[in-house]
Amino acid sequence: MNKPKACIIGAGSSGITTARMLQKNNIPFDWYEMSDQLGGNWYYKNPNNMSSCYQSLHIDTSKNVLQFDEFPLPENAPDYLHHSDIFDYLNRYVDFCHLREHITFNTQVAHADLLEEKIWKVELGHGATHYYDMLFVCNGHHWSPRWPTPAYKGAFNGIEIHSHEYLTPFEPYDMRGKNVVVVGIGNSAMDIASELSQRSITKNLWVSTRRGAYIFPKYLFGKPADKFAVLSPGWLPAPIQRFFMDLATPFIIGKMEKFGLPKPDFKPSQCHATVSGEFLLRAGGGDIKIKPGIQSLNGDHILFADGSSEQVDIIIYATGYNMEFPFLDKSLLQVEDNQLPLFKRVFIPDYPNLFFIGFAQVLPALLPFPREQLKLVEAYLQGRYALPSTEQMHTITRQDQERYTGHFYKAARHTMQVDSIKYAFEMKKELKNGYQRAAQRGFASPIPVLAERFEQSGETIKKVLERVSE
């Protein structure tokens, strides 16, 4: 029996997980990666300029929550992997699954258009065109830097870069002996600030933040902190979960004001957790100095909101990323302030053959999240799961968004927030509901097999044109 053909855009961790699901189900697919190797964000100095890795980067979640079940990490692997370890692990997994032969490297998807026949016309950067019954979008969301908006008043005479460009204290600029300001207080900001604040590197290191933060350690009681996530199971009601988090946090981390940080104007459960094993040590030791938000840029000086002014050589904006899909027509998808209204973080209700994999700000870890998404997609492609009506999907999506993000303070980083433990628990219920809908519809295949016909037709037309030109 013929099966629908898929196109996968991107060979990072989400694309790899998607390809493995399709492979297991014997679903044909083409897989495009614009770089010369797989790994996406974990490919340091990726020549496609889309990796946000810096040389010293270690992941903030432990190995216990990011490994593939069928391909566990070695027993002697460190608790918190270096980015090169993750890159190596992804490559070994791809070879273990015999997936590498499916990847077309150095190939950009320039445009993907949904035709009237509900198939995808995919145009590649080198000019070729192919047709697919379904499209998997796995291009990641840590590659398009978000700069402060609105822009600061005035002009700066020094160097301004985004954390996306930062590689080492010497690349892309030598920061030794310089006065440096890091803008932001997320995980990347803390990593970069901790590294640069060493007295042997920068002359002065300031972190500029408009609000406080709760900074959690990587270890609790001698164990990776995310091991304790099991103490908050998926079935536990969210208000109770948040109550215990707010209650326990002050005992775990103390008062952030003692380290020079502003007192948070929100509860611990109202923000995406920030994790660092070094930042508070550096701040407590005076290596990192805290400043409020920037009021204006004045040549080689920065004026801060508290009226203080500092001579600065370099500004590093660790201000997050935009979620973008340059290959999709904007009529298909509108992304505003990183708000992506997806049913169960996978489907656009009006386009049931378009799947978004890995687009979330996930706790405790991103890598396992696509596996949970693809359980739903797998059942859907097998006819064992049917989607609700379009109207119901829109309603459920709004309800899910409020449940996952309604309690957070307003910020672009929180529009994509997902608790992966709760998500996995809820997917089990959704699969049961979808199974009942599928049974009522006779377990029909949701994706018609049409692309192959268009592909063959396209080849015939191409040959005719070639003969005419001759």
Q: Residue ranges of the domains in the chain? A: 6-144+322-459, 147-319
Residue 230's pLDDT is 58
Residue 352's pLDDT is 92
Note whether 4 and 133 are within 8 A (CB): yes
Residue 209's pLDDT is 96
The three-state secondary structure class of 394 is: helix
- Nearest Cα to 113, choosing from 90, 126, 131? 131
The mean per-residue pLDDT over the stretch 381-394 comes to 95
Pairing type for strands 294-299 and 144-145 reads unpaired
Residues 6+ apart with CB under 8 A from 114: 120, 121, 332, 351, 354
Dist. CA 19–CA 141, nearest whole Å: 19
Residue 81's pLDDT is 95
Residues 6+ apart with CB under 8 A from 422: 234, 238, 404
Domain 6-144+322-459 and domain 147-319, same fold? Reply is yes
Note whether 321 and 164 are within 8 A (CB): yes
Q: What is the pLDDT of residues 99-141, one digit of tens each?
A: 999 999 999 999 999 998 899 999 999 999 999 999 999 999 8
For the ranges 123-137, 179-193, 203-217, 438-452, the lowest mean pLDDT is seen at 438-452
Percent of the chain's residues with pLDDT above 70: 96
The three-state secondary structure class of 113 is: strand
Q: Where are the beta strands (DSSP E) in 192-262?
A: 204-208, 215-216, 219-220, 223-224
For the ranges 79-88, 125-134, 186-195, 223-232, the lowest mean pLDDT is seen at 223-232
CA distances from 352 to 333, 380, 438 (A): 13, 10, 14
**In the predicted model, is pLDDT for residue 222 greater than 80?**
yes
Quote the tokens at residue 363: 């706790």
Residue 458's pLDDT is 60
Residues 6+ apart with CB under 8 A from 469: none
Residues in a beta bridge with 104: 32
The mean per-residue pLDDT over the stretch 380-392 comes to 96
Note whether 211 and 274 are within 8 A (CB): no
The residue with tokens 């739903």 is 376
At residue 321 the predicted structure's pLDDT band, cuts being 50, 70 and 90, is very high
Dist. CA 398–CA 271, nearest whole Å: 20
Note whether 155 and 296 are within 8 A (CB): no
355: left (phi > 0), else alpha (psi -120 to 50), else beta? beta
**In the predicted model, is pLDDT for residue 467 greater than 90?**
no
Dist. CA 445–CA 384, nearest whole Å: 9
Residues in a beta bridge with 275: 216
Dist. CA 362–CA 153, nearest whole Å: 34
The mean per-residue pLDDT over the stretch 297-311 comes to 97
CATH architecture label of 6-144+322-459: 3-Layer(bba) Sandwich (3.50)
- Which homologous superfamily does the CATH classification assign to the domain defined by 147-319? FAD/NAD(P)-binding domain (3.50.50.60)
Note whether 32 and 108 are within 8 A (CB): yes
Dist. CA 343–CA 366, nearest whole Å: 18
Residue 231's pLDDT is 59
Q: Give kind and range of the element (H or E) at residue 460.
A: helix 451-469
